[in-house]
Amino acid sequence: MRTAQHLSGEALARHLVEIGRSAGLEAIGITHAEVLQLSRTVLHHRKAKGLAGTMNFTYRNPDRSTDPGRALSGARSIIAGAYGYGGLGALAPSLLSGRVARYSWRDYYGDLHRGLDSIATELRELGYSARVYCDDNSVVDRNVAYRAGLGWYGKNANLLLPGTGSWFVLGSVITNAELPPNTQPLADQCGSCRQCFDACPTDAIVGPGVVDARRCLAWLVQAGGEIPPEFREAVGDRLYGCDDCQDVCPPNKKYGLGVGAAMNDSTIDPWVPLIWLLSVSDTQLLERVGRWYIAKRDPAVVRRTALVILGNTADPDDKSVVDTLGRYLIHQNPLLRAHAVWASRRLGLEFLLESVRDDADPSVQRELIMPVRCRFGSE
């Protein structure tokens, strides 16, 4: 094992930054490992107001997720890293498909983790303790990155990096090494801009930097249970995530083309064919989208959203669509039967509903009587 005795704190920090950049990280900063007091206050406050909805993650235990010392005993410093996932937009496919948010086009968190792990490995080789955290409920990545000077909080609650915007996944290396921290977080650079507010399809941004998860499509298509009827039309063709507030953000529009994966990258997966998704086995479905957050790892959550997208985008004269809805109207899972009712009514396919008129499940019966705006003018 090598030692770091010959390296000062500043020299060690520069060394680690060089390693991280060589491993593909596009921005790296350092902060101390004290409690993330800003996030702790915010998480408790918003959780008490109900803004978290059913979301857990760092809301589950704010005192834990804001204390780096619980993630690594003896923690003294945190190295924050960002990996870009922007790039050219993907063209819509010819097949009826569900759209995927950019951060899940491929396993960018895997790329981020490998970059951070290169730093952690070097620290361990030098005799320190180090642990990597990304997309983990043990630590609030955005607050770490903010405190480390990587960017400022946008009005949509994303962290915006100077000159490049928010097309980044964020993570941390927590270590007991003493490293010189950033002492001056970046000032807000959004100014009076409200484009993210105006672009949100469900008005989920309820204040600067405040997102109501109960209205946010990015959360609603991940969460378990039914998609609230009042937000189903707004789902549009979104199968996983929502990029609307980022798509309109001026820094993202100006600088996003040069960051991350490009349209001709064969490893990206921006669209998932819906009829395929609604026909394959659970195992096949999870093989393709298993890196996504799926509530309780239940494929019905993804299929439920796919049924809503059918209602919003499909051609009611398409036999594959009619046959698929017919199968789901007699599915053993009442959640899927209920969403198939909504999709059928949205498409004006009332004749399909005879199979569920006497369905004993109350959620199915509610779907049969609630108002639905048919895309073709019948309701």
- Does residue 308 contact residue 339 with C-beta atoms inside 8 Å? yes
CA dihedral 177, 10, 85, 281 (to 10 degrees): -10
Catalytic residue positions, numbered: 135
**Rounded average pLDDT over 279-293:** 95
Res 101 pLDDT > 50: yes
Nearest 5°: phi and psi at 30? -130, 140
**Would you state the CATH architecture of domain 9-175?**
3-Layer(aba) Sandwich (3.40)
Nearest 5°: phi and psi at 93? -75, 165
Burial label, 21 (beta-carbon count in 10 A; 0-12, 13-18, 19+): middle
Tell me how far apart the alpha carbons of residues 151 and 142 are, in angstroms, rounded to a whole number: 9
The pTM for the full model equals 0.92
Residues 6+ apart with CB under 8 A from 298: 224
Task: Tell me which long-range contacts 313-318 makes (C-beta under 8 A, separation of at least 24).
Answer: 313/96, 313/236, 313/237, 314/96, 314/274, 314/343, 314/347, 316/347, 316/348, 316/349, 316/376, 318/96
Res 202 pLDDT > 60: yes
Q: Supply 118's token pair.
A: 């290169």
Res 259 pLDDT > 70: no
Strand-pair category, 159-160 with 27-32: unpaired
pLDDT-derived band at 92 (thresholds 50, 70, 90) equals confident
**Rounded average pLDDT over 123-137:** 94
Tell me how far apart the alpha carbons of residues 29 and 31 are, in angstroms, rounded to a whole number: 7
Tell me how far apart the alpha carbons of residues 315 and 319 are, in angstroms, rounded to a whole number: 9
Tell me how far apart the alpha carbons of residues 132 and 169 are, in angstroms, rounded to a whole number: 14
pLDDT-derived band at 260 (thresholds 50, 70, 90) equals very low
Tally of residues, the chain: 379
CA distances from 312 to 161, 230, 259, 288, 330 (A): 35, 13, 32, 23, 21
CATH 3.40.109 in the chain is located at 9-175
Q: Supply 343's token pair.
A: 């999709």
Res 191 pLDDT > 90: yes
DSSP conformation class of 162: T
Side-chain half-sphere exposure of 366, counting CA atoms within 13 A: 10
SS3 call for 240 = strand
pLDDT-derived band at 304 (thresholds 50, 70, 90) equals very high
Tell me how far apart the alpha carbons of residues 231 and 202 are, in angstroms, rounded to a whole number: 7
Burial label, 258 (beta-carbon count in 10 A; 0-12, 13-18, 19+): exposed
Tell me how far apart the alpha carbons of residues 365 and 273 are, in angstroms, rounded to a whole number: 29
DSSP conformation class of 261: -
Res 343 pLDDT > 90: yes
**Rounded average pLDDT over 335-363:** 97
Nearest to 376 by CA among 324, 327, 311: 311
SS3 call for 23 = coil
Give percent of the chain with pLDDT exceeding 70: 94
Hey, which residues does 78 pair with through a beta bridge? 31, 174
